[in-house]
Structure formats: C-alpha cells, structure tokens
Amino acid sequence: MFKTLCCCCILSFSQIGFVFADQALNKESINKTGSDKIKSIVVKPFTAKYTILHKSDPVGTGTRQLKRIDNDILEYSYHTDIEWLIFSDSREEVSTVSLTGNHVTPNHYTFKREGTGRDKEKAWQYDIVNKTATDLKKKRTINVDFPDNIQDKLSYHLQHRINLIANPKQKHFVYPVISTSGSIKNYVYQYEGEEEIILPYGLVKTIKLKREVIEKKRVTYAWFAPELDYLLVKLYQTKGGTEQFEVQLNSVTID
C-alpha cells in the first residue's frame, strides 16, 4: 500500500501535469514574417508549491520550477517529498529543453528517487537530429525513429502548457513520449469541461482534462487555470475506482 501511494503520487505529479503541462506564467508576443503572423509564447521562469494529499490528509509537498539557462534553453523540474507513517520518498525529475518558437525539443532528462525501498536514478541524452538516445548510466546509445514533437517524460508538460496558451479552445491532446527504456508511447488527454475550485491558493476558475490508461485501470484528472496562463493547479488520480492521491496548488511566484 505504501508503494502504491508513492508511485501513483509521483508518477502523475510529474507526468501531468500531467500527466500534463505546467510551466511558467507566460504572455504572448507576435512575430511577423512577411504577411504571416506567428504567435510565439514567451515563457517566464516560475516556482509553484503544492500539497500532496491521500484521502484528504496531507502526506507530502511538491515543487515545480522553470529556469532559463540560455536564450532558448530551459530547465523544467519537479521535486516531491512524502512522509506517511513509516514510509518516506523523495524524488526529483529534471528536463533540459530547447524552445524554438512554440516547439519544445528535449535534450537531457534525469530522474532520481530515494527513500523507503530501492533507490533509482536515470539519465538520458537525446539527439533528435541524428535520431539517437543515450542512456548515460548504462553508457549505451540506441537509434530511435523520433516522431514529430517527441517529448521526454517531463518536457511534454511544457509543450502542453504552451499549446493551451496558444490554442485555449483545443479539446484533444496527443504527445509522443519516450520512456526511460527508450520506448515511445502516446499520452492522450481529453477536455472535460470548466470548473471553479477552492484551493489553498484561493478560488480559481479552471479547465479540467482527463487521461485514462485502460490497461492499468488508472484515471487522472488535471485542472489548469487560464488566469494563471494555464498553470497546473490541481491533480486527482484513481486506480481501479479507488482514490490514489490529490495535489493542490499552494503558491506560485515569478522568478
């Protein structure tokens, strides 16, 4: 049971974003090329703090952060700490990406987990142009036929939020995501409607999205706030019809 709580909390908090997107507070700028107008999303660095709950009881905290490393290089990360009865878990996931226009390209991805049970650490380097992915821990390089808009397990969050800002009326999202084993799977999200919710952050108007993984009987809901430029403000996940966890926004700052 301890293992189930940890895995579900961290998995969805990282993936949505989840398993969606949640990135910095942004604004739009218009770039003109001849007679064409291309909307380019300017992403501002941010830090967002969350509370992780299990059956309405706080069991941990989470932080999402976006940093600008260079003009077109960004670092997106999350960190979670869970303490529940005799169980403890600390995880960090970091994705370094290139941002060209409104397109996110993953360059480097790391994952680290410590606490009760077996520790884990992953590190991958991606070369999209030459179609290779390098497992830095196992020191092996594999050839990958990357589809358009390929993302790693965290970078798609940033791409998702940019997509929401650029096209807020979009109802269906599909992201090809490369796993830490090198396989690629589509992450699919569907619009579920609008809701006004109360969080530690305050009263927020949101749009609600859903991701369902049928083979694992897992359903994850994510709420994004248009007034915060579609920042992720809440997550809720069930598995086999049983509540697994909830994540709620406490605060957000522009760095």
Here the contacts of 171-179 (C-beta below 8 Å, separation 24 or greater) are: 173/209, 175/149, 175/151, 176/147, 176/148, 176/149, 176/150, 176/151, 177/150, 177/151, 177/152, 177/153, 178/106, 178/124, 178/126, 178/133, 178/144, 178/146, 178/150, 178/151, 178/152, 178/153, 179/153
* C-beta atoms surrounding 70 within 10 Å: 8
pLDDT tens for each residue of 10-41: 444 444 333 333 333 444 433 333 333 456 78
The whole-model pTM stands at 0.84
Quick one: pLDDT at residue 2?
41
Is the pLDDT reported for residue 164 higher than 90?
Answer: yes
Confidence label for 206 from pLDDT (cuts 50, 70 and 90): very high
Summary mean pLDDT of the chain: 86
CATH number of this structure's domain 2-254 = 2.40.360
- One-letter amino acid identity for 244? Q
If one counts every other C-beta atom within 10 angstroms of the C-beta of residue 187, the result is 20
Domain boundaries, the chain: 2-254
Q: What is the mean pLDDT of residues 116-123?
A: 94
Over 90: is that where the pLDDT of 71 sits? no
